[in-house]
Amino acid sequence: MSIEVRKLSKRFGDFTALDQVDLKVQDGELLALLGPSGCGKTTLLRLIAGLDLPDSGQVLFSGVDATSRHVSERQVGFVFQHYALFRHMTVFDNVAFGLSVKPRHQRPSKEEIRQRVTDLLKLVQLDWLAHAYPAQLSGGQRQRIALARSLAVEPKVLLLDEPFGALDAKVRKDLRRWLRALHDQIHLTSVFVTHDQEEALEVSDRVVVMNHGRVEQIGAPDEIYEHPASPFVTQFLGDVNLFHGRIEQEQLTIGPFAQVVEGYQDSERAVAYVRPHDLDVTREAQGALGHGRVDHIHAVGPLVRLELRQEDGAPIEVALAKERYRELGLAPGDLVYVTPRKISVFPDAEDYVI
């Protein structure tokens, strides 16, 4: 089932959580809603589920207006951040709940329910926990049971609200991959909310980046990482270095650095963003984008992270391959120059405030 959201708005008192948001989710895709706290992503998810009602706008399922449909009639599955398992019921009863509350004429027989629940528990590889209580499970197990419970009623759409937010890093990574594998298996239209950009980029088919109740950019993970549409998206998706410069007659100038930028308007306040791993370090000053003294060297892991200090005190972060680092033979205090392999330019950028 596809989902469409048209001009959806929601306010809580004076605070605008969503501002005229338009979005289309294709049938069978795994979509991530990504953004910082307070950007409206959870509000959007809950409006799609029907757990909250919008102030204006529409929610459509496969082209049919479902805005006024009650949450219990929307056939959506919802996985909460803190699992919301029924604490006084066993795992089996939790997963069977959705089937057991169906109206009499739609309810499957006890045997059918038992079979379906067992199949689902096998799917999440927790069939041996059927008679345990939620309090006895670990976080990762609880989340998988919550997922099994939401799948029991065969929803047309699966909505997940920061499903791995309450888990520790290793479990989060494992479950992330497990979710992706599950999605590849069952092809259920799924939308999940996260503030972790690594998670969004790794798991989803498309990512929607949101900020202040609006959509900043929608696209496939590699597309938005390589071609961010705004300074916010650039800065949100990972570490980035900032350089101020000018654009004159389609030429970007930052100090001694110059690059042709086609199709850009003249601007006195242009900003260039360069990711740490897109910077090369040399000892030659020619055509350098910037320069600084080596402040810190973190040589742990596959990349060597360098922190350079410019004359005005501003830092430049560089991520070098280990071989290149050894080639250069750098030591703290050395004066080095950086040249970019790839830059994102935004004319007239405002400063991004945390």
Cβ proximity of 283 and 324 under 8 Å = no
- The vertex-236 CA angle with 232 and 238, nearest 5°, equals 130
Order across the sheet with 15-25: list the strands. 15-25, 3-12, 56-61, 64-65
Residue 97 within binding range of other proteins, rule CB under 8 A: yes
By CB under 8 A, name the one of 18, 49, 66, 319 that touches other proteins: 49
By CB under 8 A, name the one of 61, 78, 232, 273 that touches other proteins: 78
Of 145 and 274, nearer to other proteins (C-beta) is 145
Cβ proximity of 24 and 37 under 8 Å = no
CB of 212 to other proteins, least distance (A): 24
Residue 178 within binding range of other proteins, rule CB under 8 A: no
Query: Which amino acid would we find at residue 233?
Result: V
Residue 76 within binding range of other proteins, rule CB under 8 A: yes
Cβ proximity of 209 and 238 under 8 Å = no
Closest listed residue to residue 57, CA positions, set 31, 25, 23, 32: 23
Two tokens at 163? Answer: 């499903």
Segment 118 to 157, residues that bind other proteins, using CB under 8 A: 128-129, 132-133, 135-136, 149-150, 152-153
Q: Could you give the CA distance from residue 74 to residue 110 in angstroms, rounded to a whole number?
A: 25
| 3 state DSSP class of 22 | strand
Question: How many residues make up the chain in this entry?
Answer: 354
Of 132 and 229, nearer to other proteins (C-beta) is 132
By CB under 8 A, name the one of 15, 26, 88, 326 that touches other proteins: 88
By CB under 8 A, how many residues form the interface with other proteins?
A: 31
Of 78 and 164, nearer to other proteins (C-beta) is 78
By CB under 8 A, name the one of 22, 56, 65, 87 that touches other proteins: 87
Q: Could you give the CA distance from residue 227 to residue 132 in angstroms, rounded to a whole number?
A: 48
CB of 99 to other proteins, least distance (A): 9
Judged by the rule CB under 8 A, the positions of this chain that interact with other proteins are 49-51, 71-73, 76-78, 80, 82, 84-89, 97-98, 101-102, 128-129, 132-133, 135-136, 149-150, 152-153
